[in-house]
Amino acid sequence: MSLLISAVVQGILWSVVSLGLFITFRILNIADMTTEGSFPLGAAVAVQAIIHGYSPIIALVLAFLSGLLAGALTGFLIAICRIPSLLAGILSMTAMYSINLRVLNRPNQNLLSHRTIIDLVSDSPNFKQYASLWVGILLTLVVVVGMDWFFKTELGQAIIATGDNNRMARSFGVDTKKMTVIGIMLANGLISMGGGLIAQYNGYADVNMGIGTIVVGLAAIIIGEILFQNVSFIIRLTCVIVGAIIYRLLLVVVITSDILEANDFKLFSALIIAVCLTLPTISQKLHLPQLFRKSGDK
């Protein structure tokens, strides 16, 4: 039972990262590798903020702001320098490694004897998982409602239009370069905030903790889309959270059945994504019902 609760908790906490990745991957249609740099950046900023006496909540805000800056760098490389999005993300991710080392002043830093956002709900070690669950539910609720509201505004619709059809959006007077930068900034802000949240849950930050982050985030998005299709925007966001939980539960099944070793989790994640992305093609080739077709319009 404890493994199941832990899987649900981690799924909800990691879904903040997946929701950020949803903006670049699904709304802007950009494969943004900045994720693997902005995630540990948020963790590093949050940990250092707490160590220096700031509130754990303020630490998450600072993590979000640091992610905005990371996204601004990638957006600048894409919109102004005209560097392809994939390469721009890789450049930012590489730069973030050195920045994260400077923020932490060492490869890793723990939060021993420091209060985290989990401790604000309950100081008892026996209730850590339940406290983490409530923190995750509250934060994801705020993020989902906030994203649903934002993408219904004129600015949010302009970002969606940019991702749907860049050329047509420009013909309607949308500054697509600006919208791309704003979208990438928001995405990495959420990803960094997710990194800060995970760091507080784990009790430490490490410069290498971003490796494979984009794979975990994509797994949650794709699992949610495969299982729940043709739904409204806010339900799609909720499905990302459900996908993150299902992904974590799949890991529990794997670890308890001794099918794979713990070191094989990244391979397992990649296989899940590959299979899910292939399902629509297999369905079309075999003339199966459109059970696994891609999700509808944003």
pLDDT band of residue 188 (cuts 50, 70, 90) is: very high
Tell me: the pLDDT tens digits for 55-100? 999 999 999 999 999 999 999 999 999 999 999 999 999 999 999 9
Phi-psi label, residue 203: left if phi above 0, alpha if psi -120 to 50, beta otherwise = left
Q: Is 285 exposed, middle or buried (0-12, 13-18, 19+ CB in 10 A)?
A: exposed
Residue 242: predicted pLDDT: 93
pLDDT band of residue 129 (cuts 50, 70, 90) is: confident
Tell me: the pLDDT tens digits for 193-234? 999 999 999 999 999 998 888 888 888 998 888 877 778 899
What's the average model confidence in pLDDT over 129-140? 92
Res. 119: pLDDT tops 60: yes
Residue 245: predicted pLDDT: 93
Q: How far apart are CA 243 and CA 235, in angstroms?
A: 12
Rg (CA), the chain: 19
204-206 vs 108-110, strand pairing mode: antiparallel
Question: Can you give the residue ranges of every domain in the chain?
Answer: 2-211
Residue with the larger pLDDT of the pair 231 and 178: 178
CA–chain centroid gap for 61, Å, is 16
pLDDT band of residue 146 (cuts 50, 70, 90) is: very high
Of 227, 204, 197, the C-alpha closest to 10 is 197
Q: How far apart are CA 175 and CA 222, in angstroms?
A: 29
Residue 294: predicted pLDDT: 47
Residue 172: predicted pLDDT: 87
